[in-house]
Chains A and B, each alone.
Chain A
Amino acid sequence: MSLAPGQQLLEVLAAVVLVTSWISLVHRRVAALVRLYAAQSAAMAAVAGLVAYLYNAPILYLTGATIFGLNAVLIPTVLLRLQRDLRVPDEVNMLVSVRTSGLAGLGCLLLAVAVVGPLTPYAEIPAAGLLPISVTVVLIGLFLTSTRRKAFTQVIGMLVMANGVFLAGLALTFGLGLLLELGVAANLLILAIVGRLFLFRMKDSFDTVDADALRALEG
């Protein structure tokens, strides 16, 4: 199978998106998670740009630039500053072991292959190969959100999930893109702001950002 170089680069970038989410599953430092998210978003931006170039959809250049500016630069900066301001400890608290998380990442991929894999032969959609990866990233984001103790890391999980949704959008509907992209991007921004507020409030009320502390509210 010989592929056009552009197509191949696309695959490599997709793999980067996948691997960054895997590594965020096994990493134990909060700041590193944010940087991994930034790297993942940068790769996403590159995917958007490349798809724009390959399939002649100039509107996606704009999407790519938006993703880059927003997801790869702005949100990570905000998050890192937030971490510093809130003095969130750099250690990730997990409900499951690192090893289990790692294997769960593999499970996510296999699940995605099992569910979405059979779609790929009907590849009228040019970048359909990206779809299983995007589903995997969504699942991993979900896993991150549900197995990390701190609200801060849970927010990162949500952001990873949003990236996965993004990728799916890119894979399937890049033709009618911009609105959707902007919509999701705006959502993200709101998410970040809400998250920020939420974290501040939580810190004020409970003097911690450990989401488990919310259990104290129970009847």
Chain B
Amino acid sequence: MTPWEILLTTLVLAAELALAVGLAPLLTSVVRRRKSRSQRRTGPSMIQPYLDLAKLWGKGTVYVESSSAVTRAAPLISFASLLAAVPFVPWFFLPAPLGFAGDLIVVVGLLALSRFMTAVAALDAGSTFGGMGSTRDMWIGALFEPTFLLVIFAWGAPSGSTQASTIVLHGATLGAAHLSPALLLASAAFALLLLAETGRLPVDNPATHLELTMVHEAMVLEYGGRDLALIELGQSLRMVLLLELFVAVLLPWGIALSFGLAALALALVLLLVKLLAASALLGELETRVAKWRLFRVADLAVLSWVLALGSISLTYLVGVG
């Protein structure tokens, strides 16, 4: 790499981090807006999540008497691991800035780290709700971890690589043939995973106010102030990360392959369009389903395994004729 390229890569890295973090609340807002519109409500303003974060940032924090250092460290580690996952996902430029250093399995690991820390910290306060949320969240996480791995295998099989950049590049150069049934099935499995990982309906209700039905909200019940702001932002960041991975693999076209003003601008615009459309779709979906009983979520997980493994088998079924 020449110094020039290193500089550009650093710039891309910084831009993508800023984009991901900056965009995260907006996409959450789009989901909410779409949801309220299809329920014939006006809904909160589009910048409400930003205002909420600013408000939380200005507030002080109270920790539970019996809590240990884990409570204080968890939001930091949890958020930092999500942040660290950003450069391993292609956003608007290929290859992803740190794509050489890790593949999608690293993303799985970092997301798991984030989940683990939040779940551990939820037990620290010693309240019933924390434990309830923690066990449910880890339960869901454990069930969907195979899905993530299977989807990575299915996505990676055609290009023979688990690197996000290679998968996306392979798809982008393939043209319409990229949209094979195997890819669609794997992406459907990933969509289920996305619902579970980001705590959307029907797995978890992000808007609930009843402690007994909460999963994620119950876990973070004891947090406030900047810690809560980090957790909320982290939850949005997790969503934008997975949404981006989803659209980048499913619809890889338009991502910039070289430094050029036109290519970068086009890629940026397309990225925004894809992400906004995906989150609007998510909001639409949320109005159409009700929250499921916790144990039915396992059915969803099994369906996602079936889809992902089916995708692997399918790669070798069709396409011969």
Asked whether any CB of A lies within 8 Å of a CB of B in the complex, the reply is: yes
A interface list, Cβ under 8 A from B? 1-3, 5, 7-8, 10-12, 14-15, 18-19, 22-23, 26, 98-99, 102-103, 105-106, 109-110, 113, 117, 120-121, 123, 125-130, 132-133
* B126 in the interface (beta carbon within 8 A): no
Contact of B184 among A1, A12, A109, A110 (CB under 8 A): A12
B-side contacts of A99, CB under 8 Å: 298-299, 302
Residues of A within 8 A of B321 (CB): 7, 120, 123, 125-130
B318 with A11: CB separation less than 8 A: yes
Cα A36 to Cα B276 in complex, Å, equals 29
Do B299 and A11 touch (CB < 8 A)?
no
Task: Give the interface size bracket for B toward A.
Answer: 20 to 34
Task: For the complex, give the distance between the alpha carbons of A153 and B176 in Å.
Answer: 38
Q: Is the CB of A8 within 8 A of B313?
A: no
**Chain B nearest CB: distance from A112 CB in Å?**
9
* CB within 8 Å: A-B pair count: 91
Instruction: Name 4 extra pairs, CB < 8 A, besides A5-B176, A12-B179.
Output: A103-B305, A121-B320, A123-B320, A127-B321
Find B174's partner among A2, A5, A103, A117 (CB 8 Å cutoff): A2
**When A and B form their complex, which 7 residue pairs have the shortest distance between CB atoms, in order from nearest?**
A15-B181, A129-B321, A129-B318, A102-B302, A11-B318, A98-B299, A120-B320
Which residues of B line the A interface, CB within 8 A?
Answer: 174-177, 179-181, 184-185, 188, 296, 298-299, 302-303, 305-307, 309-310, 313-314, 316-321
Q: Which residues from A are CB-within-8-Å of B318?
A: 10-11, 14-15, 129-130, 133
In the complex, the answer to whether A128 meets B310 with C-beta atoms within 8 Å is no
- Summarize A's interface: helix, strand, loop or mixed: helix
| One of A14, A19, A113, A130 near B316 (C-beta < 8 A) | A113
Known: A19-B188, A98-B302. Is A1-B177 also a contact (CB below 8 A)? yes
Q: Are A117 and B310 in contact (CB under 8 A)?
A: no
Contact in complex: B299, A14 (CB < 8 Å): no
Q: How far is the CA of A22 from the CA of B313 in the complex (A)?
A: 14
Q: Return A167 CB to nearest CB of chain B, in Å.
A: 12
A26 lies within 8 A of B177 (CB): no
For B302, list chain A residues within 8 Å (CB). 26, 98-99, 102-103
Contacts of B174 in A (CB 8 A): 2
Q: Can you sample 6 A-B contacts with CB below 8 Å?
A: A3-B319, A8-B177, A12-B179, A12-B180, A19-B188, A26-B299
Bound CA–CA A105/B314 (angstroms): 13
CB-CB nearest in chain A for B174: A2
Q: Are B313 and A109 in contact (CB under 8 A)?
A: yes
| Nearest CB of A to B136, in Å | 18
B181 contacts A106, C-beta separation under 8 Å: no
With known contacts A11-B319, A102-B303, A103-B306, A2–B188 Cβ distance under 8 A: no
Distance A90 CA – B307 CA, assembled complex (angstroms): 25
Contacts of B177 in A (CB 8 A): 1-3, 8
Which of chain B's residues have a CB closer than 8 A to the CB of A102? 299, 302-303, 305-306
Which residues of A have CB within 8 Å of B320?
120-121, 123, 128-129
Q: Which single member of A106, A120, A121 contacts B310 (CB below 8 Å)?
A: A106
Task: Give A211 to B196 CA distance when docked, in angstroms.
Answer: 36
**Chain B nearest Cβ from A208, distance in angstroms:** 26
Residues of B within 8 A of A113 (CB): 313, 316-317
CB of A126, distance to nearest CB on chain B (Å) = 6
- In the complex, how many angstroms separate the beta carbon of A215 from the nearest chain B beta carbon? 28
Cβ–Cβ < 8 Å partners of B185 in chain A: 15, 19
Q: Assuming the A-B contacts A26-B299, A113-B317, A129-B319, are A105 and B306 also in contact, with contact meaning beta carbons closer than 8 angstroms in the complex? A: yes
